[in-house]
Amino acid sequence: MNFSLPDSRRKWSCRGYMSAGAAMVTVVLGLTLVLTERAEARKYAAPFDIFGLGTPRPRAKVHSAKVPLPKPRPEEAPKAPAEAPPEAEGKPSPDKPGDTKPAEAARPPEKRASACRLALTEEIAVAPSIPDIRGPGACGGEDLVRLEAIVLPDKRKVTVKPAAILRCTMASAIADWVRKDMVPLAASLGSTISDLDNFDSFECRGRNRIAGAMLSEHGKANALDVRAIKLANGQSIGLTDRTMSRDVRERVLHSVCTRFSTVLGPGSDWYHEDHIHLDLAQRRNDYRICQWNVWDPLPQVAPLLPAERPDEAPPREVAAKPDAKEGADDEAAEKSSPPEDKPVSAKKDQPSKPATKKRR
Q: What pLDDT shows up at residue 45?
A: 54
pLDDT in tens, 27-62: 778 777 767 766 665 555 555 555 555 555 666 565
In DSSP terms, 264 is beta-bridged to: 277, 291
With DSSP H G I counted as helix, E B as strand and the rest as coil, what are the percentages for the chain, rounded to 5? 30, 15, 50
Q: How far is CA 93 from the centre of its chain?
A: 46
- Grade residue 323 by pLDDT with cuts at 50, 70 and 90: low
Buried b (16+ CB within 10 A) or exposed e, 122-148: eebbbbeeeeebeeeeebbbebbbbbb
Q: How far apart are CA 351 and CA 154, in angstroms?
A: 94
Distances 179 to 82, 83, 212, 260 between C-alpha atoms, Å:
71, 68, 38, 15
In this structure, are residues 196 and 158 in contact, taking their beta carbons and an 8 Å threshold?
Answer: yes
**Per-residue confidence (pLDDT) for residue 333, from 0 to 100:** 55
Which comes out higher in pLDDT, residue 343 or 264? Answer: 264
Average pLDDT over residues 92-107: 52
Would the pLDDT of 347 be above 50? no
pLDDT of residue 177: 96
- pLDDT (0 to 100) of residue 344: 45
Whole-angstrom Cα Rg for the chain? 61
Assign 350 a pLDDT band (cuts: 50, 70, 90).
Answer: low
Taking a C-beta distance cutoff of 8 angstroms, is the pair 128, 146 a contact?
yes
Instruction: Evaluate if residue 16 carries a pLDDT over 80.
Output: no
Contact predicate 197/242, CB 8 Å? no
Q: What is the pLDDT of residue 11?
A: 52
Tell me the per-residue pLDDT of 118-171, one tens digit each, with 9 for 90 and over. 999 999 999 999 999 988 888 999 999 999 999 999 999 999 999 999 999 999
What are the pLDDT digits (tens) for 182-237? 999 999 999 999 999 999 999 999 998 888 889 999 999 999 999 999 999 999 99
Is the pLDDT confidence value at 250 over 90? yes
What does the alpha-carbon distance between residue 136 and residue 143 come to, in Å, rounded to a whole number?
18
Its pTM stands at 0.55
What are the helix (H) ranges across the chain?
A: 5-11, 15-43, 115-119, 168-177, 183-188, 246-259, 322-336, 344-349
End-to-end CA distance of the chain: 189
**Residues 254-296: tens digit of each pLDDT:** 999 999 999 999 999 888 999 999 999 999 999 999 999 998 8
pLDDT tens, position by position, 61-91 = 655 667 778 888 787 777 766 655 555 444 5
Q: What is the mean pLDDT of residues 232-243?
A: 91
pLDDT of res. 200: 94
- Average pLDDT for residues 347-357, to the nearest whole number? 50
Residue 144's contacts (CB-CB under 8 Å, 6 or more residues apart) are: 129, 130, 131, 132, 133, 165, 166, 167, 168, 202, 221
